[in-house]
Amino acid sequence: MQSPNSNQLPKVLVLGTGGTIAGVATEHPAQGGYRAAALDVSQLVAAAPGIERLAVLQAEQLASLDSKDMRAHVWSLLARRIAPWLAQPDVAGCVITHGSDTLEETAYFLQCVLPAGKPVVLTAAMRPATALSADGPRNLYDAVQVAASAEAVGRGVLCVVHGRVHGACDVTKAHPTAVDAFSSGERGPLGFAGSQGVLFTRSIPASSDPRPLPLPQAQPWPRVELVGSHASADGAVVRALLAASARGDLAPPLAGLVVQGTGGGTVHEDLQQALDEAETAGVRVAYGSRIGALLGGPYDGLNAVKIRVRLMLELAAAGAH
């Protein structure tokens, strides 16, 4: 999309992956007939008035899915498309339109495998594109503002939704329906984007800038499963996974487990026994919490789903599959 003075404008790639931001609902108000990922990313760009004055946009449809169904194959496609784009000297950044459900996992994955530098900004919407007061066009506009902003350089992968700019390590979906569904927890957002432009109010802490890990070349990626600690958690799920893996029923076999512990990462004593058996069998076990990110430790500031992403990449880098 070109504007009259496009020579001076930054270049931003907009990659579509689906989600509610590209969704439609045929009935109102109960959103009957809802379908995620129905529209093409070029239609989303066309529905955001004035966006062409922010940047020279190149829109590409990379996938069309409800992000609950996100998979490693799409993550690979994203990383392989974004890295060479950002390496071009005349481009400013990249925006990804994404479903809200697994946005934080994709954001953190990209944070781990892409070089820090030019902004990569994920955005989403909580209302389909056809809804009254659809939030997608505003969120896409703000995401492009951030991707085109020199202030965003060096802040890692970002999420822009409802006027807030979140860092990939902090951000989590914290509400099932509200338009401000995303939160950075106690740390708060990195900044804001809106009609006033882009304003960063804090920097990312050093611990939130993970050591880069290589993009796994071979599929499938190592299997890392999530297990939860709760009242009466007795380890049956862990032992069933170990047995299935030992029988050869799991492809790839079980390589890692991430525990969604209680509170500060504590685990039911009966589940702990099974986890110890898993470690003895050569499975890597990492500990998180079911109430959010833990502070300190090897996965400082990460919630369990992001620890799972990190552990999977670590195991792949170590040659596991």
Interhelix angle 269-280/236-247, rounded to 10 degrees, is 20
Binding flag, residue 101, ligand ASP (CB under 6 A): yes
Binding flag, residue 68, ligand ASP (CB under 6 A): yes
Nearer to ligand ASP, 36 or 152 (CB): 36
Q: Where are the beta strands (DSSP E) in 189-253?
A: 191-194, 197-200, 223-228
Determine how many CB atoms are found less than 10 A away from the CB of residue 185.
14
Chain positions 35 to 54 lying near ligand ASP, rule: CB under 6 A, are: 36
| One of 10, 51, 67, 119 touching ligand ASP (CB under 6 A) | 67
The contacts of residue 71 (CB under 8 Å, 6+ apart) are: none
- Segment near ligand ASP (CB under 6 A), from 62-70, 83-91, 137-145, 249-257? 62-70
CB 70 → ligand ASP: shortest distance, Å? 8
Beta pairing partners, 49: none
CB 59 → ligand ASP: shortest distance, Å? 18
d(CA 185, CA 182): 9
Report the residue number whose CB is nearest to ligand ASP.
99
CB 47 → ligand ASP: shortest distance, Å? 16
The tokens for 298 are 């090897």
The tokens for 30 are 């109960």
d(CA 176, CA 241): 30
Per-residue contact track with ligand ASP, 112 to 151, x per CB under 6 A? ------------x-x-------------------------
Q: Which residue type does 47 have?
A: A
| Residues designated catalytic | 20
Residues counted in the chain:
321
Residues at the contact surface with ligand ASP, assessed by CB under 6 A: 19-20, 36, 66-68, 99-101, 124, 126
